[in-house]
Structure 1
């Protein structure tokens, strides 16, 4: 698979761009290209909704429900979660943000948000 991506004039530039982000490796890059073809064509809010990371409200009339994330493309979400784990170790900005989340009492799951 790696050789196919590297030899393709269509996929190589996208792969290089994705892997230029700290934490994104070969597996995450290929997963994003294969399972999220809309990447680059939609804005960040629509991408977050497609992946299942955008909080949706459960409001009805005057009742204001909880905001939860659900649904979406599980393989993309899992690849982004693993990339975030790597980035918290090697990217100082993401590491500082992650530490602030932990200090605020957020669970480790929130790091992928």
Structure 2
């Protein structure tokens, strides 16, 4: 994953700078804002079911130890999520998925009733 590789490389590179500048923390925040903005852009576009499932899965994995939660990165992913609306977006997508599923079921039921 590029995110993990980028942050790992940056963490090692920024050791030469004083810690009080908090460059790593600032870069993590900058990276997270960029990802959050891109997700907002993606969500407002027309997504098919497969894309919605992939996006929900990625958002679920994002704060876990598979991505930002990796111990060697030392990122408090859940604090980032409190400040930026990734989880809110996930809830919106989940509601959209449920709504979409209900619409499909209703269309199917209406179609079956018409055939009867």
Normalised by the size of structure 1, how large is the TM-score?
0.25
Higher helix share: 2
| Bigger Rg, which one | 2
